Each structure stands twice: as C-alpha cells, then as structure tokens.
Amino acid sequence: LDLKKLVAYSSVSHMGFVTLGIFVFNSQGIQGAVLQMFNHGITTAALFIAVGQLYDRTHSRAISDYGGLHKPMPRFAALFFLFSVAAFGLPGTCNFIGEFLVLVGTSYINFAMVLLAMGGIILAAAYMLWMLQRVVLGEPNTEAAKVLPDLSSRELATLIPLAILVLCIGLYPGPLMEVMDASVTHLIEQTTGGLQVDEVSQLPLRP
C-alpha cells in the first residue's frame, strides 16, 4: 500500500467535513468548515512533507518497506505520530476543533448525519492508526529501514512550526475563532436574513 495515497485519502475525508459544515449553514457549521480548511492545510501538508522526507531516504512509498522507525528516527516518529493523530481529530489537536463544531452545527439540523459523520471519524482513526503501527511501531521490515538517518536540522525546521500550530490551535482556538466570528455571522445574515437553514426551509413558497 502506498503511504502517499493513504495520506491523500485522509485529505479527501477532511473535505467531507468541510462540505457538511457549509451545507448545514449555521454559525457552528460554517466556523467548523472554515477552521477545518485551515487545519487541513496544516496537518495534510505536514504529512505530505514527512512522506517526502522518507522517500528521499528510501525512494519508496510502500508501507511494507518501513516499520519500526521509532528506533532509527525517533524525532521523525514523534512528529509523524502527532500529525497522524491530528489528522483524525484527536482531542487537543487542531482538527478536533473544526470537526467538533461541524458536528454541533449538524446536530441542529439532522442528528442522523451526525452519526454518519462520526462513522467517518472512526474509519479515519482506524486507517491512520493502522498506518502508524506499520510505519513507526514494531520492528523494521528491511535492513535499510534499520539505519535510516533521523531528521536533519533543516528538515526539523519545516515540521516543528507546523507541530506548534497543531497543538496551539487544538488547545487554544479562541483567537482564531474570534477572527472569523464576525465574517461568519455577516455571511449568514446576508444570505438568510438572520434565519438559520431549518427556519428558511419552513418559509412558505411564493407562487
């Protein structure tokens, strides 16, 4: 299985939450969608960078060529673990905030959609943890994987700022949400006249 393709699949699942948040069209849903787009740019970019750093060392993206990277590459393993769990919305990481807001907004419209979206979160957690188990944990699958050099200072400089953003937004999203709050409120008021989507749907149709 191609490591890059798995990361790309997780990227598509993030966009599903963005779409859901936009279509529920209340303040929580829109805020969650905007936040999820921003966070997607952090976590997915970080994962693609990390996969590229592995490819530079082995010229392979096959998951079966790795395993046990926590031994030869502890710094890489720690950062890759953080970005992977952030990708499926572990509490305390940035993606959790966006997904939670989308679910709250959706619960006001259709609770069945909340259950369906939560199923997507569970699936994302399953395949990301499966990937971590086979890339970072266990024993190296090849002799080359046993002696891979850890991240250089230049490579760390590309990932550490993203890791800081993952944790800062996940633990303290208030400032970012305050920035978008006025714009989201204005968008909803301009589009619906201050009504939420469920209220708009109940308005009588004019001939």
pLDDT digits (tens, 9 = 90+) for 25-69: 888 999 999 999 999 999 999 999 999 999 998 888 888 888 889
Q: Containing domain of residue 191, as a range?
A: 3-200
Q: Is residue 187 part of a domain?
A: yes
DSSP 126-185: HHHHHHHHHHTSS--SSHHHHT-----HHHHHHHHHHHHHHHHHHH--HHHHHHHHHHHH
The pLDDT score that the predictor gives to residue 193 is 66
Q: Is residue 86 part of a domain?
A: yes
The pLDDT score that the predictor gives to residue 30 is 92
The pLDDT score that the predictor gives to residue 10 is 87
The pLDDT score that the predictor gives to residue 156 is 95
* Gap between the Cα atoms of 60 and 53, Å rounded: 11
Q: Is residue 193 part of a domain?
A: yes
Q: Is residue 206 part of a domain?
A: no
The domain total for the chain is 1
Task: Show the tokens assigned to 20.
Answer: 């859901």
What is the rounded radius of gyration, in angstroms, for the C-alpha atoms of the chain? 20
* pLDDT less than 50: residues of the chain: 200-201, 203-207
The pLDDT score that the predictor gives to residue 200 is 45
Beta bridge partners of 62: 2
The pLDDT score that the predictor gives to residue 203 is 44
* Gap between the Cα atoms of 9 and 85, Å rounded: 15
Q: Is residue 207 part of a domain?
A: no
